[in-house]
Amino acid sequence: MNIPEHEIEISAVRAQGAGGQNVNKVSNAVHLRFDVARSSLPGWVKERLLRLGDQRVTRAGVVVIKAQNHRSLDMNRDDALKRLHALVAAAAHVPKSRKATRPTRSSRRKRVESKVRRGKDAFQGVRMKAVILLSGGLDSATVAAIAREQGFEPCAISFQYGQRHLIELESAARVAASLGITRHVTLEFDLRKFGGSALTGDFAVPKGRAPEAMAQGIPITYVPARNTIFLSFALAFAETLGANDIFVGVNALDYSGYPDCRPDYIAAYEKMAQLATKAGVEGKGKLKIHAPLMRLDKAGIIRRGLALGVDYALTWSCYDPQPWSKPCGRCDACVLRAKGFAEAGVPDPLLISRRAVPPRTPA
């Protein structure tokens, strides 16, 4: 079975001196890495390959092969490629006595469609885990649904970081439950000790700004380095799970001018992560930070989420909730949310179904 060359990563293994320091010499060993989940192999071959039980296939669904038996670098490279092709061939092999029962493309498609209709993943039992930054807001709920649609097993992480209220964390728990997310971790730390933001300090939340004004400068609701802190926790969580994928709901259009919601920031963080983790250094996993909402406006995000069945009545956006947990309707987050639902041509279900309950504030 043919495997495109661009899907195979091959690198020379650098020899190491005393203390593990690199020396100016390259050994003849080569390191091969092949990401099964992201490859162009047929789905049934991927499934069988992941279920072979071969120790060269990691829990993250990546084939890792080290070849060092030959004196020539090229010979070791060829050896690694032969081993990979042999492994894939073993997964794709169907004994003659069973060829008659091998599923056809049509029957496989019907089986997958049936499972999707029942709300189950097409490759149940071998889904790749992905970490979702789940704030309880509109964007993160949409991203969690997108990750699930793409076949990942979402593992959510939320943060109680000293924000003005805890309604968003209650929303995060409800969103996770509605999407069938069974692994949901909430970490606690206190950025109020630093302050510097209207969300973690004594500054007033800006009200009544036009959407055009929000893109001018960085507002006082910006929490210094918040996304960097959140992504660092997510990165650690992903590495412990053997996951190579992190989903975050940042957006470069309706983003209130925050510097850590830009495409170049996400790209730089992803590059840094390869240097900062054991999996990245050893070549056992290449982290991907997914930002599927980056180029969508709020209306586009809402339409995408509605198509995936997201219940936006469970989400929360307001920076400064009023008594009995009502959105203020005038902060930047409320204005952008209202603009999105208006442009999408649908009413905001939060304003229709939100029950009047007292707001919780951090202790």
Mean pLDDT of 4-19: 70
pLDDT at site 70: 84
Q: Residue 129 is encoded by which pair of tokens?
A: 């885990």
- The pLDDT, as a whole number, for residue 116 is 44
Helices (H) and strands (E) in the chain — how many of each? Answer: 12, 8
- Three-state helix/strand/coil letters over 300-343: HHHHHHHHCCCCHHHCCCCCCCECCCECCCCEHHHHHHHHHHHH
Pairwise CA distance, residues 114 & 81, whole Å: 37
Task: Look up residue 250 and give its amino acid.
Answer: V
The per-residue pLDDT for 109 is: 56
Burial class from Cβ neighbours inside 10 Å (0-12, 13-18, 19+) for residue 229 reads middle
Say how far apart CA 311 and CA 353 lie, in whole Å.
Answer: 11
For the chain, percent of residues with pLDDT exceeding 90: 36
pLDDT at residue 215, rounded to an integer = 67
The whole-number average pLDDT for the span 19-40 is 69
Q: Is residue 124 over pLDDT 60? A: no
CA–CA gap between residue 338 and residue 316 (Å, rounded) = 12
- Identity of the amino acid at 204: A
Q: Where are the beta strands (DSSP E) in the chain?
A: 8-16, 22-35, 62-67, 129-133, 153-160, 183-188, 245-247, 288-290
- Return phi, psi of residue 11, to 5°: -140, 150
132: closest CA among 88, 176, 97, 174? 176
Alpha carbon distance 48, 31 (integer Å): 23
5-14, 157-166, 266-275 — which is least confidently predicted?
5-14
Q: Is the pLDDT of residue 122 over 50?
A: no
pLDDT, position 274: 87
pLDDT of residue 102: 52
Task: Please name each of the domains of the chain with its CATH number.
Answer: 5-93 (3.30.160.20), 128-353 (3.40.50.620)
Q: Answer positive or negative: Cα dihedral of 111, 96, 35, 284.
A: positive
Calpha distance 336→247 (Å, rounded): 22
Please give the helix or strand (H or E) that residue 236 lies within, else none. helix 226-241
Cβ neighbour number for residue 146 with a 10 Å cutoff:
22
Q: Does an H or E element contain 351, and which?
A: helix 349-353
Stretch 270-298: mean pLDDT = 87
Over its C-alpha atoms, the chain yields an Rg (Å, rounded) of: 24
Amino acid at 102: R
Q: Report the alpha-carbon distance of residue 184 to residue 187 in Å, rounded.
A: 10
Mean pLDDT for the stretch of residues 39-50: 82
Task: Quote the crossing angle between the two packed helices 298-307 and 332-344, to the nearest 10°.
Answer: 60
Average pLDDT over residues 27-50: 82
Residues 149, 153, 155, CA angle at the centre, nearest 5°?
Answer: 115
Q: What is the pLDDT of residues 236-273, one digit of tens each?
A: 999 999 999 999 999 877 655 678 888 889 999 999 99
Q: Read off the pTM.
A: 0.64
Residue 33's DSSP bridge partners are 9, 64
Q: Considering the chain, what is the average pLDDT of its residues?
A: 81
Q: What are the distances in angstroms from CA 27 to CA 11, 55, 150?
A: 11, 24, 40
* CA–CA distance, 205 with 323 (Å, rounded to integer): 16
Structure tokens at 50: 């992941």
